[in-house]
Structures are given as C-alpha cells and as structure tokens.
Structure 1
C-alpha cells in the first residue's frame, strides 16, 4: 500500500485524546433509594469511580477509536496498484516519433511496426482496463497535440487512433509530457499512460508530475526487435575537377544492432544506378564507402536496402555544391564554333547525328536526359516522329534554322533592333552580317527579340511551360560565330533556357521550418515528390506573397520546389532531400524517469512504472470513507440502546 499524504498521520494523535477523555469521564447511575441512610452506599460507589482507574471494556469507546483511526487513514490518501482498473481520468500519450516505425515480431510471427502495435495496445487497454474512465488522447510529434478530451466511448477512441501517422521530424518529447503534467496537476483522480518504445531523443527527467506516470513499452512478442537497425549516418558528393569533371562520393553506414551485418550499398546518380558495393559492419561500429568517377547529376541517392528493422534511415540524398554542369544534347551535322561556345559556358555537350536520331530516342531513359536540346539545321522529317515530339515538348529547346516551315528571305542592311531580354543582354551585333534568314510563317510560342528592320532574326518564348529559343538563320550563313559576342550570346541562351533548373536546397529534417529565398517573379510554389510526381503541398504565403519561411514536407524523400509566375509558367526548380531525425536511429539519449510529486505533501519520488509490473493505481480512501459511515451508524445504534453503560 502507498500513501500520498504521510503528514496526515499527525491526526492519529486524536486516538489517545479519545482515550484520555474516557479516563477522566465520571460516570453516575440514577438510583432510587428508600432512605437517606442509603447515601453511605452511594458515597462508597463514588470513591470506587476514581478517574485513574483502569478502563473497563467499553464498546462505544472502541467504536469511536475505530472511526477515528479510519478517518486518519483516509486523510493519508492510501492507494495500491491494481491489475484491472484505471483512475477516473486517464491521459494517454502516444509516441509518434520515427523510431516507432521500426518493425517488430507479432505473436503470429509476422512483422508489424511499433507504432501500429501501440495504437492497438491503447484501444485494447482502454476497453479492458478503463471501461468507465474518461480518456484524453495526447500525441507527441513535431508538436504536442490533443486529439481527444475526456471521452469515455471506445468507438470514438478507435476513430481518433486510426488516422494517426508517425512523425519523422524532431519530436517534442518534453513539450508533450509537460502538457500531460499540466492537464493532471489539479486532478488527483487521474493518471498518465505513456505508450512508447522508450527511445527518447531528449531528456525529460526535470519534469515533475502530480499523478503517477505508467510507461507501456511497445516491444516485440518475444521481447526483441525482428532485426537490428543499420543507418546511413553520412553521405556527401563533391566534384573532382582534376578528373575530367567527374564526381566522387563518400558515405558512412552504422550498425546499431548486436550482430555483424553485410550491407549492399547502392548509389544512384539522378535516378540512374551508378554503382553497388558490399560492406561489412561490426556491431556498434560504422564503415565508410567511397565512390569515384560518377557522372554529374542534379541529385544523388544512397540506398542500403530493407534488411533491417528501421527503414526510415536507409536512404539519404546529396547534392553538388553550386550549379552542376548542364547537359546539352546537340543535334546536327556538327558545328565546332557552337560546340566550343557551349563548353565554354560550362555545358557537357553530347553530339547526336541526325542519322542516329531515331535509334537514340528509342533508347533514351527519362532519368538520364539532357537539360537542354539544341537542334542545329536539321531537316523537319528527322524529328517529326511522335516520340521526338512528345520528348521535345518536355524540354527546353534551342532551334537554329530548324523545327518550322518558312521561306528564305534576304536580310536588309542596317542597324539591328534588339529588345531587352536575358538572351540579348550585352549583345549589340554591330558589324555582324547575316546573308539569309529562313523566315517562319508564324511563331505562336514567342516573339522576336532581334530583328533587322521588319525581318525577325531571333525569337524567344515558352511552349507547354518550357522555354524556347529560335535563331532563324544558319550560323554557317553568318559571321556571328566569329564575333566576340557569340560566346556571350551562347552563355545568355544557356542560362535563360536552364533558369528553372535552379540547383538544390540541400538537406533538411522532415517537417522542419526552413528559410528559402524565392524568385521575385514567383507568384506561387509547390513541393512535388520526385518518387510519385504528385504535389505534396503548396508553398505557404504571407500577405499574398510567398513566405520566406517554409515547412519542409513531412515524409522523408526527394522533393522539388517548383516556382511559378502569375501565368503559371515554371520559372525555377530546386531539389531538396527530406530526412528523418537522425537522433531516432540510435537507442535514445535519456532514461525515462518521471518524478511524482504529491500535491498534498510536496514529497517527490520516482514514478516510471511499466504496465506489466504494477498495473493501474487504485485509490482506497473512498472505500475507507464508506466504512467510516458504517461505523458511525453502528455507534449510533450502540448509543441509542445504551450499551455503553
């Protein structure tokens, strides 16, 4: 038996006080006498009734002592652990942290996550152990959240539990337990039940609770997880400038389990499998893996498979610092000046002959496609297939006297008219000669940015949300490639065509707040999952504008942030790798020790019991009060019958 108010034991001094009252109490009996001569006998009785004589057997005194003792016991607030009962109000705290997604063995031998096991345990416990209790459901994720308040219906509890999902970001352990403590501080007939795996990533030992806290640990049916955890602890890439522009990568893999592991490490460069290595990792140790001569890509992915108990830390993403070289597919018979100018602009150029265009498009993989396509003086039938048409519609394309029907037109002499545009920046075209232009009949997707009087020479615009650039004359029929402005023009064109491919935002913890600089022309933005291609969430706005502080998607994975202008055109795309909180991979950083402070006495003690050990606390003072009332009824009956004489 336990007591919440031991100082109330001082009220036990009332018991000897009752005895003293009986010691000093004088007792007289009404007696009829026939003569005054009999007073002598009465005087003798008075002498015999001295105050300090030994107490005789008095039932009324015994009953009163019993009632006083029971009253003192009730004031001490006794309680005991009961296997099949709960207090009137139970605050259930459900741990939603990423470590709760670890797989464990079910009684039937199948595997399930700790999180799903915890939800089932809550529903079963409330049904079997607390059918008459009011349930408050509190979850701990990125923030503490109350989903149910003082609800006694099991159906409503199950309905509240079903849609709850794990939280992969930084879990607010202390905030959630502080809220649970505040909700029960003024309610002595309550308790806290914590359903968790015990892997808290932050200390909570400095919290105090006015009611008992019971920890229900979520473990496998045989007391052990199905397998130990292995995680990717570090992963990064770096451009190797001395190796022809290739990329090197290094990763660290840690074994948190008790047995050695053979891990198959797969590395992807932009969706293309680049290398696979096998590494042995000893228990409690980590091993490093190195990769060299990787192709340049927007993003890199490291995957260690699904052979451990916790999958959320098996994949990691990395990005090159700064802008990576842009991949350009140059379709044409060959133009040395154009190819060198593209390389000077930092592009990786792949030459494709028109004769091999049909075979190339059939072997093209979406995950390894170029950033820009340059079509230089290619006849229409070469790229007229449905496959080419569909593929080009999804890419930025730079046409040079290709991709349209037109007529040969002489270029009038005189000064060129140049519109303000990113492609024509710093370009004057003075003394540049163009013999003929293949003038298109109509260009629906763009407008002229360079013209010779009324003859357009260069068009710029967008089609299907993708930028388009058209030089309407052949470079071989102009001295433009010989001019110093030509590399500037090519640099401007490449930068404008790839402006929407804005590099990366790096890595972030899932669900965290991150400051992101948006384009001044951006009207809206959205997070798109690279795996599913579906929109995860819209970017947050403040005062009608895109806010600088954004919430990272809540699920680990690779995402792209697409910014769009008012017309809906995509103006920039950047990549971000969302990861689970790395602190959840290990065994936890603190023990679960909750201090139970009695509201009446102020005494503190450890209170972190497990459900299997003691069960629910059961208060006894109510039953004692009922017993006191029964004793008082008994006393009245004794007094009324005069049994005390």
Structure 2
C-alpha cells in the first residue's frame, strides 16, 4: 500500500486543531443548588452507564475527528499494489504425472499447484491464457481464454493421469502458441532441470513452480514372479530415497487378497535392496505392498502376472549353444529340435529361432535371435536401452556387439546400437534380437540370463494374458474381433472397444481384465519406472522478456472507499448537531 499525493500530508494538522479546540473550550463546574438537590436521584440511571454518557457528551468530537482523518487520507490518495503477469499472454504447462501425488499433511503437490493457479487468475488482467497438460499426448485444456469463470472451471477439471510427464512434448506444443508474442510460461511440476527448458527465445519467460523440498519416499522399483513346479518364485527390488534408515513391512498377496508372506525389513539410507522368496504357493497374480511412513503412496504397491516357468521352450537346433545353456540355466523344460520341425510345434511352446518366416504364423510367442533372410553389417558401439520392462533386471550398457541385422520397419525398437535398432518387439509381442549371440560378448555378462528370464516371463504370461501396460497406453493387442469390455479387479466397468487396435489401457495402476462372451484375459497397468522415484522440488525463474524482466504491477486507488464513509459521517454529524440544537 502507498500514497500518491504526499504533498497533502500537511492537512494532518486539521484534526489536531479540532482536538486542541475541544481541550480549550469553555468548561462548566457542577454546583449543587438547594432547589435542585433531589435531581441526584433522577440522575442515577445516567450514572449507571458512564461510558454511554461520555460517548453522548463527546459524540460530535469523535465524528469530526474521524471524518477529518478520513479526509486527510483521501487527499493523500492511498492505493494498493497488485501484481500482474508480465508479457502479452500466459501459458501454463501442468504436470499430471503420478509423482504429483506426493505431498505432506494429506496435501499433494498437484492440489497445491491448483490452488496456486487459482490465485494467479486475478493477475492475468485480461491477458489470454492457454493451459496444457503433460503426457504422451499433451492436451490443450483451454486456449487463449480470458474469462475467469472458464479458467477456474478448467483448473477444477485437471486430474492426475499417472503417465510420464513427457515434458519436451508439452513444450513443443507450447511453442506453437508463442510466435512473436511476449509470453510468460508457468510450469507446474515437481522437479525439472534448467537445461530442459529452452531459453533461446527472447519473447519467453519461464516461471517454474516445484514441489516441497522435504518430501521423503521409499518405493517398490521392480517386481516380477515366475512359477516353478508347485511354487511361485518372486523377485522384488526396494529403494529408500531418504537420508535416514526406514523400517518397512513388505507383504505379498495372491489374487484373492490372501497374504502369502509378510516380513519386516530395515532399509538403510539411500539403499537399494533386492529380495527373493521361495516356495510360495502357486498363484496367477501376485501383489506386493510396502507399509512405510513416507510422502508418496503410489509407488508402495505393485502387481505382477506370474509367468509359467515350467511351460515348454523349444530351441532351434541351429541356435548357438550359449542360447541353449542360457535357457537351461533357468530350470525350465527346454527341448532342442531340428529347424524343419519347428512348424509342427509352433502352437505348443515358446520358440527360440532365427527363422523369420515363423513370425506371425503361430499362436505362441517367438524369440528371434538373428535372421536367416538377411546379412549382418558390422557395427562398433555399445548398447543403449529404453525404459522397457524387459530391462528391469538387466542392464545392457556394457554389452559389445560386432554386427547386427537390418531391422523390421513396423516393429517397436526397445534397444539400439549407435542409433540403429538392436532389440525390437512385434505388434503381437514377439521379441527380436537383431544379432547372432556369437557376434556379441553378451553371454559373458550377468545380464544375459536375467534378460532371458525376463523374456520368458513376458512371453509366457502373454499366452494367457495381455501383459503389462503403462497408464493410458494405446497399443494394438492380439484379440479376436468382437465386443470387448475392460473391468477392474472389483468387477467395476471401465470401458469397451471392438477393434483390437482401439485398445487403451485405464488410467490408474492395478489389475484389470478384458472380457467378451467367449473369453477373458487379465492385464496389468503399471506405473512407469520414472514415476517410482521422486526428486527434490525446484522452483525458479528463467529468462527475461524483452520489454520487462519483472512482473508488472498496477495501482488500485482506495479513494472511493474513503469518500463514501466521509459522506456518511457528515450526515451523522449534521443529525447530532440538529438534535442538540444549532445554538448550542
């Protein structure tokens, strides 16, 4: 608050003059007269309320002082400063990933940001606002909106989608709205590195609103299980992201919710623990739950489909013995058969081969190692893997590959060598390794048997289930044409689809089932690995606008709020004076 006409500060002497006048006005002394001696009894009621009598006696003084003080303030023209966003327009990028659900005192980062957004609406001052939500496919919630009511409605509609934030995609979308217009871009997220934000545009100023810096977290980072004979063998990884020791309780449950095992664990500061259990009862679905006092609950649970480790695996006789030994080390039923007999077993077992003609011709999964229809070309680089669940327990970063085969155009690439595809996945779930094992040093690394175990677990589960999906993931799945519906584990209806290419996974992580009149298959929606870890919150500003590097401010005059009380006081003074008599 401030005053724009300090030159009128001298008028503060006016109420002082009035006060001095009342101090030196003529005063009367009470004098008892015999003929009025009985008046004392009549005045008892007045003496019973001395404060009211004092107020009645000096009412005119108080009214005059108050009106003069307000008059002086009005001459000084007081105002209140209000902050406005810099730039001609504003863009808000809102992170809707799962980590936004972290927070203290039952208040998530996402809720805090929504309240901040609502408070910023008043600072727009008519500037157009665009709101973009993050995700694999960023969405424009409102575009160039100026109405406050519509903006508040859009803020209320924002929800966490559990997807990875995919911030570069949202930034690319925001660039389309900037052009040559000076823009303030607000990024509401938990944490972001300054290097991720483009600052070469002189028309853009970044304001990043991050999460609380004191958040603590312990998480289940990896979880998988396979069946071996009459037992289930789970493998789980836990991580303590705090700088203190945490006492946690880990429990594993079957699809009926029955607790199979429960164990108390101590996780050291920033410790990552891998835990295995043996001789658990056979179950189709296994759930892990971590009881711990932290600030992020979404990563304290995880569900996995149990792969049938005793399912038959058929390996092409032409494959290298290292491949045969690798699968045999997993304690599975492995058969070595001639190449010409693979077709007859194509619908009975998981096949390991290099014959590309078998792709798409079987009802069972295929792992293709090398190709028999192409010639390998020499490469000289290391492997770079993606955040695919297939590499959850195996890192291929130190694997050397001498030569690779040409890739399949329509398949998803999940690992590369020097930018060229190395491992791919077909639309039906087949795994393709575009190299002969003998042209790599992969079998010398511990990641080799772990990778084979992951492939076996994924492909065998795919024969009776749809597998694992990310939240809101759209992917073509292998289902017969028909009317299919998605249900949650509690039989709650989620959605329906007809074409297998129209399948879209639900938003929230958990166990789901697709059902038709003839068949049903379970599948899992799993939090991405990136969303199972929280970072220290960051808030900062980056860049300056060409016309103004500071947030703009405006002055709102309070003069109107002073003139009305002054007018009312003058009316009251006139009425008090009228009742007392103007002669007095």
Cα distance in 2 between the residues matched to 1:279 and 1:125: 45
* 1:20-71 deviation digits (Å, cap 9, x = unpaired): xxxxxxxxxxxxxxxxxxxxxxxxxxxxxxxxxxxxxxxxxxxxxxxxxxxx
The answer to whether the 8 Å contact 2:253/2:287 transfers is yes
Compared CA separation, residues 102 and 123, structure 1 to 2 (3 A): same
TM-score, normalised relative to structure 2:
0.50
CA contact (8 A) 2:470 2:528 kept: yes
1:616 corresponds to: 551
> Hey, what's the Cα distance between the residues in 2 that align with 1:285 and 1:199?
24
Match status 1:194 vs 2:187: yes
| Structure 1 residue 101: Cα displacement | 0.9
The DSSP-based 3-state class of the residue aligned with 2:287 is strand
Partner of 2:139: 145
Q: Does 2:154 correspond to 1:160? A: yes
Does 2:171 correspond to 1:177?
A: yes
Instruction: Give the Cα separation in 2 of the matches to 1:231 and 1:304.
Output: 8
Partner Cα separation in structure 2 for residue 616 and residue 599 of structure 1 = 12
What root-mean-square deviation, in Å, do the aligned CA atoms of Structure 1 and Structure 2 show?
A: 3.3
Alignment map for 1:543-558 (pairs within 5 Å): 546-548=499-501, 550-558=503-511
Partner SS, residue 100 of structure 2: helix
Q: What is the aligned partner in structure 1 of residue 527 from structure 2?
A: 580
8 Å contact from structure 1 (residues 560, 573) kept in 2:
yes
CA contact (8 A) 1:204 1:592 kept: no
* Cα pair 2:219 2:238 within 8 Å, conserved: yes
Specify the alignment match of 2:119 in structure 1.
Answer: 124
Q: 1:561 aligns with which of 500, 504, 514?
A: 514
Is the 8 Å Cα contact of residues 513 and 523 (structure 2) preserved in structure 1?
yes
**CA apart distance, 1:588:** 5.3
Quick one: distance in 2 between partners of 1:505 and 1:528?
Answer: 14
Match of 1:224 in 2: 214
Match of 1:311 in 2: 297
Is 1:261 matched with 2:222?
no
Distance 1:598 1:132 in 2: 19
> Is residue 2:456 matched to residue 1:509?
no
Deviations 1:62-120 (A, max 9, x none): xxxxxxxxxxxxxxxxxxxx98121331112211111111122xxxxx42111011111
2:471, 2:508 within 8 Å by CA — same for their partners in 1? yes
Are the structure 2 counterparts of residues 184 and 210 from structure 1 closer, same or farther at C-alpha, using a change threshold of 3 Å?
Answer: farther
| Paired residue secondary structure (1:313) | helix
**Cα distance between partner residues in 1 of 2:308 and 2:147:** 57
Tell whether the 8 Å contact from 2:133 to 2:141 is kept in structure 1 after alignment.
Answer: yes
Contact 2:468-2:524 at 8 Å conserved across structures: yes
**Equivalent residues of 2:252, 2:261 under 8 A apart:** yes
Contact in 2 for aligned 1:258/1:283 (Cα 8 Å):
yes
Q: Note if contact 1:83-1:615 (Cα within 8 Å) is conserved in structure 2.
A: no
1:397-453 Cα distance to aligned partner (Å, 9 max, x none):
xxxxxxxxxxxxxxxxxxxxxxxxxxxxxxxxxxxxxxxxxxxxxxxxxxxxxxxxx
What is the CA distance between 1:180 and its match in structure 2?
Answer: 1.6
Give, in angstroms, the shift of residue 275 of structure 1. 0.7
The change in CA–CA distance for 1:590 and 1:176 in structure 2 (over 3 A counts) is farther
Structure 1 residues 296 and 574, CA, compared in 2 at 3 Å: closer, same or farther? same
Maintained 8 Å contact 1:192/1:211: no
Stretches of structure 1 lacking an aligned partner (at least 5 in a row): 1-81, 105-109, 326-500, 601-606, 608-613, 620-645
Give how far 1:302 is off.
0.5
How many angstroms does 1:199 deviate by? Answer: 4.4
Equivalents in 2 of 1:508, 1:525: separation in Å? 17
Q: 1:233 aligns with which of 199, 203, 221?
A: 221
The residue that corresponds to 2:108 in the other structure is 113
Q: How far apart in 2 are the matches of 1:217 and 1:598?
A: 19
Contact kept in structure 2, 1:505 and 1:576, CA below 8 Å: yes
Using the TM superposition, give the Cα deviation of residue 548 of structure 1 relative to its aligned residue in structure 2, in angstroms: 3.6
Deviation at 1:153, TM superposition (A): 2.4
Matched-pair contact (CA < 8 Å) for 2:510–2:525: yes
Q: Paired residue for 1:526?
A: 485
CA distance in 2, matches of 1:99, 1:116: 12
Judge conservation of contact 1:84–1:615 (CA < 8 Å) in 2. no
Q: 1:301 aligns with which of 256, 263, 287?
A: 287
Matching of residue 89 in structure 1 with residue 112 in structure 2: no
Return the offset for 1:583: 0.7
Equivalent residues of 2:232, 2:283 under 8 A apart? no
- Written as runs of structure 1 = structure 2, the 5 A alignment for 1:266-277 is 266-271=251-256, 272-277=258-263
Distance apart, 1:213 and its partner CA: 2.7
Q: Indicate conservation of the 8 Å contact 1:208/1:597, yes or no.
A: no
Please say if residues 240 and 269 of structure 2, whose CA atoms lie closer than 8 Å, have aligned partners that are also in contact.
yes
Give, in angstroms, the shift of residue 235 of structure 1: 1.0
Please give the alpha-carbon distance, in whole angstroms, between the structure 2 residues aligned to 1:205 and 1:198.
Answer: 12
Call closer, same or farther: CA 1:143–1:599 in 2, change over 3 Å.
Answer: farther
Map Cα deviations across residues 198-249 of structure 1 (whole Å, 9 max, x no partner).
247x9734574342333342434xx523xx11111111112223xxx11121
Residue pair 1:504, 1:575 contacting (<8 A) in 2 also: yes
Q: Is the CA contact 1:324–1:503 (under 8 Å) kept in the aligned structure 2?
A: no
- Asked if the contact 1:317/1:507 (under 8 Å) is kept, the reply is no
1:528 positional shift: 0.7
Structure 2: how far apart are the matches of 1:533 and 1:307? 30
Alignment of 1:140-539 (within 5 A): 140-188=134-182, 190-199=183-192, 204-205=196-197, 208-220=200-212, 224-225=214-215, 228-241=216-229, 245-271=230-256, 272-305=258-291, 307-322=293-308, 503-519=464-480, 522-530=481-489, 532-539=490-497
The CA deviation string for residues 501-521 of structure 1, in whole angstroms up to 9 with x for no partner, is: 9722222211122331113xx
Conservation of the 8 A alpha-carbon contact between 1:98 and 1:584: yes
Q: Equivalent residue of 1:518, what SS?
A: coil
Task: Give ranges in structure 2 of 5+ residues lacking alignment.
Answer: 1-80, 312-461, 555-584
- Per the normalisation by structure 1, the TM-score is 0.46
Cα deviation, residue 135, structure 1: 1.9
Structure 2 CA distance, aligned partners of 1:324 and 1:559?
Answer: 25
Q: Deviations over 1:329-366 (max 9, x none)?
A: xxxxxxxxxxxxxxxxxxxxxxxxxxxxxxxxxxxxxx
- In structure 2, the CA distance between the partners of 1:176 and 1:114, relative to structure 1 (3 Å rule), is same
How far off is 1:598 after superposition?
A: 7.6
CA distance 1:203–1:320, change in 2 (3 Å)? farther
